[in-house]
Amino acid sequence: EAQVTQNPRYLITVTGKKLTVTCSQNMNHEYMSWYRQDPGLGLRQIYYSMNVEVTDKGDVPEGYKVSRKEKRNFPLILESPSPNQTSLYFCASSLRTSGGLNEQFFGPGTRLTVL
């Protein structure tokens, strides 16, 4: 089954404790992206990747890191989480053609609480 998986689905942590949220897709998509969703603000793009070893900042990259060592995986790293990073996080992937990006497939989300 074609899917995007994220782990963990729920996480409660404390300020400053490094954490990683994993994202994996099995559709051989070149494009992967991370978003955060906050009430009243919609989804905002954190980082995205056009292909292996190629990453770029979205609208809200501060406090986050990503890596793309393999095509299927795109982990999101919070080196020193703070309470303002409490949010619902989504990973997504997409096929890229000559006509541009196609539909994005989203993971189920990771609800993160930073105390």
Partner 1 sequence: SQQGEEDPQALSIQEGENATMNCSYKTSINNLQWYRQNSGRGLVHLILIRSNEREKHSGRLRVTLDTSKKSSSLLITASRAADTASYFCATGGRLRDDKIIFGKGTRLHILP
Residue 103 makes CB contacts below 8 A (sequence gap 6+) with 94
Of the candidate spans 13-21, 61-69, 70-78, 97-105, the one that interacts with partner 1 by CB under 8 A turns out to be: 97-105
Asked if residue 55 lies in contact with residue 23, where contact means CB atoms within 8 angstroms, the answer is: no
Residues 26, 75: Cα–Cα separation, whole Å? 15
Which neighbouring-strand residues pair with 10?
111
Cβ distance to partner 1 smaller for residue 53 or 56: 56
- Is residue 43 close enough to count as binding partner 1 by CB under 8 A? yes
Judged by the rule CB under 8 A, the positions of this chain that interact with partner 1 are 4, 31, 33, 35, 40-45, 48, 50, 56, 58-59, 88, 90, 92, 96, 99-109, 111
